[in-house]
Amino acid sequence: MSETLSEPAAVKTDAEALLSDELLAFLGCRTPDAWVAWALENPELLLIDHAQCEKKAASTAMSLLYRYVDQPLLLTKMSQLAREELLHFEQVVKLMETRGITYRHLSASRYAEGLRRHVRANDPERLFDILIIGALIEARSCERFARLIPHLDAELAKFYRTLVKSEGRHYEDYLMLARHLSDAPVDARIAFFAEREAELIQEPDTAFRFHSGVPA
């Protein structure tokens, strides 16, 4: 990875060229430049935690498959998503091997737990909240891939470009399911979680992770 950052305006242009207007509007904030610089200082941690994120995403999809067996559309989308996330996990691990990076366990960031602590206890509200959180996590991942691409070597930049497309579909699927399965509008709940997500992205963190906030 290059450690030289472009001017913030150029990075923003590059990011917005890769991301849909809808996705950018869905997120409550952009990734701060301080996180991008932090990522470039920690290329090994970036890939290791990225691999863990892909594995966790597959696990989340599988848990929804097992819990909500009476929802055919959800079963189809989560089955597809789980397969794609596991493929991404394999691809990241392979990249790490070629770069001499050993895959190891990392403690989780406070990001996902910071969102899930607001999930309501009972269904169907619980399901809607989980789907909205899934959409936010996938959208944030897309936005961070796009922010990083201008600073990466050719191999990793090409890989992350493909992930922007696939993770963008995952964001759309999660959001579609939340709207489709709810009998009432979910816009207020989306706005609530978008605010919580933006707070987590902009708050200080002591350990770098793919979804961490800014360096403390």
- CATH number for 153: 1.20.1260.10
Alpha helices, H only, 1-32:
8-18, 21-26
Task: Evaluate whether residue 164 is within a structural domain.
Answer: yes
- Does 2 have pLDDT greater than 70? no
Query: pLDDT value at position 17?
Result: 83
Task: Evaluate whether residue 210 is within a structural domain.
Answer: no
Range of the structural domain that residue 128 is part of:
8-26+34-204
Task: Evaluate whether residue 19 is within a structural domain.
Answer: yes
- Number of structural domains (the chain) is 1
Report, in this order, helix, strand and coil percent for the chain, each rounded to 5. Answer: 70, 0, 25
Range 159-177 average pLDDT: 95
How much of the chain, in percent, has pLDDT values that exceed 70? 93
Q: What CA–CA distance (Å, rounded) separates 131 from 150?
A: 30
Query: Which one, of 145, 142, 156, lies nearest residue 2 by Cα?
Result: 156
Per-residue pLDDT tens for 4-53? 333 344 444 455 688 999 999 999 999 999 999 999 999 999 999 999 99
Query: pLDDT value at position 132?
Result: 98
Query: pLDDT value at position 16?
Result: 65
Task: Evaluate whether residue 3 is within a structural domain.
Answer: no
Question: Do residues 203 and 214 touch, judged by C-beta distance below 8 A?
Answer: yes
Q: How far is CA 76 from CA 65, 68, 70, 138, in A?
A: 9, 11, 11, 18
Per-residue pLDDT tens for 135-165? 999 999 999 999 999 999 999 999 999 999 8
Task: Evaluate whether residue 209 is within a structural domain.
Answer: no
Task: Quickly tell me which residue has 């001499």 as its tokens.
Answer: 100
Query: pLDDT value at position 6?
Result: 36
User: How many alpha carbons lie under 13 Å from residue 73 in its C-beta half-sphere?
Assistant: 9
Per-residue pLDDT tens for 52-73? 999 999 999 999 999 999 999 9
Query: pLDDT value at position 14?
Result: 58
- Does 107 have pLDDT greater than 80? yes
Task: Evaluate whether residue 115 is within a structural domain.
Answer: yes
Task: Evaluate whether residue 74 is within a structural domain.
Answer: yes
Total-model pTM: 0.91
Q: Which range among 13-17, 40-44, 77-81, 166-170 shows the weakest confidence by mean pLDDT? A: 13-17
Task: Evaluate whether residue 215 is within a structural domain.
Answer: no
